[in-house]
Each structure stands twice: as C-alpha cells, then as structure tokens.
C-alpha cells in the first residue's frame, strides 16, 4: 500500500483507470535449502528431505497504471516451512503393501506477509489491440515482507496393538513442540497469473515462487544441530477480483 501511495502522484490516472480488489486462497509447497536439525543427515536409514503442504489466504489491491503495467500489494496469511520423513519398516498395510507408513518431522513457520509487486500484462504487450475482457496472462515480480507469527515442530508416531509380530491395529499420533527462533523475513517473488471470467465475475489463477533472502531462524545451531537455512515456496492459488472505476 505504501508503494502505491508513493507512486500515485507520478502518474496521471485517467477516468478509465481501475482499482481491483481481490481475495485468494491457495496451497503452499515449501522446503528448506539446507538440512537442519537432527533429521537431515542424509544416511540411507535416516529421514529424507520432504516438503510442507500448507494453506495461504489473502486480500489484494491492484492499481492499473495503463493497459500494460500495474502495481499491486497484498496482505496474506501464509503457512510455510520444511519437512523430513522416514519410511517405517515395521508397519505394512496387508491389503495394500504400496501404502507405506512414514515418520514425519514438520518444521512449521507461519507468517503475515505483504508483497509489493510490479506487473506486466503479457497479452497486451504481445498484441497491441488485444480486447478487454478476454483471458490474459500477467507476469509480476517484486518483494514480500513477512512477519513471523508461529514456529513449531510437528511430528508423528504410531501406537500398535496386537500379539506376537502381527499388529491388529495401528493408530497414528501427533505431537507439537514449540521451537521459536523464526525471524521476520524478506523474500523475492515471481508470479505468473492467468485472468479470466467465471460467470461474468473476474477470476484468476496464480503460480508463484518466492525465496527468503534471510535465514529462516535467527540461531546458527540448536542442541548442536545446524539451523541455518533459507526457504523456497511454490504456491498455486485461485482468486476473485472485484473491480471499480476511479
């Protein structure tokens, strides 16, 4: 929003300039760039690197400068993190042996984030007379500022019952450990979006990648294990736009 207020005096907004307000929901797929904690030593019988799947929801405001360019900002709640998993050799589904049980260690870091993005309408850039109201593609790039709201480690275990070497039933149990030390961050952002109309209501699908510029945690080690890592997040989101004319 601050970026928009700074830029507004530099542009002569005509009567046809538009302000778009949007809501969006999406799914994050996040992972760490370095191994952290006691779960990522890479040995054959140890935990392997995995990803955290988590939700994202937010509001956005887009200021259209002209047919080609726009600036936008958002306020999002974004759950991110990284994960490790290890296959259990003791638990097998007798009806489906391909259905494996895993031990998971999910590092969870949640943020309120404010991206500031500059966008180019690719459809209008390629086709000078591209008609309004049709499907169009947009590329955006910029920076996201994130305020950490939570930092924890969620892990699972299995409680088995039965006799001998055969388990009659297995229940999966989860526990959460608060670990803290996650810091506020700054990320660079690249976004590709497709805008379209759904029952006359403007909608969009975004594919976004962002990576932190700072380390996720503010400590080098925890209990003797490395905690220095950055984080990459790929997001697929769907949203609706509500347009009004200035």
The per-residue pLDDT for range 184-241, each reduced to its tens digit, is: 999 999 999 999 887 778 899 999 999 999 999 999 998 888 999 999 999 999 999 9
Mean pLDDT over 107-130 rounds to 93
Q: Which of 237, 119, 110, 117 is nearest to 185 (CA)?
A: 110
Residue 56 pLDDT greater than 90, yes or no = yes
Which pTM does this prediction carry? 0.84
Q: Which of 143, 149, 151, 155 is nearest to 217 (CA)?
A: 151
Q: How far, in Å, CA of 224 to CA of 222, rounded?
A: 5
Mean pLDDT of the chain: 85
pLDDT band at 5 (very low <50, low <70, confident <90, very high): very low
Residue 40 pLDDT greater than 60, yes or no = no
The HSE-up count of residue 2 (CA atoms within 13 Å, CB side) is: 4
pLDDT tens-digit series, residues 182-197: 999 999 999 999 998 8
Q: Give, as one character, the DSSP assignment of residue 182.
A: B
Residue 74 pLDDT greater than 60, yes or no = yes
What domains can you pick out in the chain, each with its CATH number? 19-36+49-84+105-150+183-245 (2.40.160.20)
Q: Mean pLDDT check: name the lowest of 34-48, 65-79, 111-125, 206-220.
A: 34-48
DSSP 42-68: --TTSPEEE-EEEEEEEEEEEEE-SSS
Residue 6 pLDDT greater than 60, yes or no = no
- Count Cβ atoms within 10 A of the Cβ of residue 36 and give its class: 0-12 exposed, 13-18 middle, 19 or more buried: buried
């Amino acid at each position: 929003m601050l970026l928009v207020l700074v830029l507004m005096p530099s542009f002569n907004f005509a009567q046809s300039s538009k302000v778009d307000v949007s809501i969006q929901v999406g799914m994050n797929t996040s992972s760490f760039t370095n191994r952290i904690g006691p779960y990522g030593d890479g040995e054959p019988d140890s935990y392997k690197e995995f990803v955290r799947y988590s939700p994202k929801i937010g509001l956005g405001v887009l200021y259209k400068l002209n047919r080609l360019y726009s600036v936008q900002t958002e306020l999002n709640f974004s759950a991110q993190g990284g994960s490790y998993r290890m296959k259990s050799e003791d638990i097998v589904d007798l009806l489906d042996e391909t259905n494996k049980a895993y031990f998971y260690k999910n590092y969870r870091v949640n943020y309120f984030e404010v991206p500031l993005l500059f966008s180019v309408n690719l459809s209008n850039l390629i086709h000078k007379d591209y008609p309004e109201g049709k499907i169009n593609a947009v590329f955006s790039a910029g920076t996201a500022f994130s305020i950490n709201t939570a930092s924890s480690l969620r892990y699972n275990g299995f409680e088995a019952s039965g006799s001998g070497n055969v388990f009659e039933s297995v229940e999966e149990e989860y526990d959460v450990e608060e670990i803290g030390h996650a810091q506020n961050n700054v990320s660079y952002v690249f976004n590709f979006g497709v805008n379209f109309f759904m029952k006359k209501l403007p909608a969009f699908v975004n594919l976004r990648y962002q990576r932190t510029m700072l380390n996720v945690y503010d400590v080098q080690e925890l209990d003797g294990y490395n905690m220095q890592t950055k984080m990459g997040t790929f997001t697929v989101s769907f949203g609706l736009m509500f347009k009004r004319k200035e």
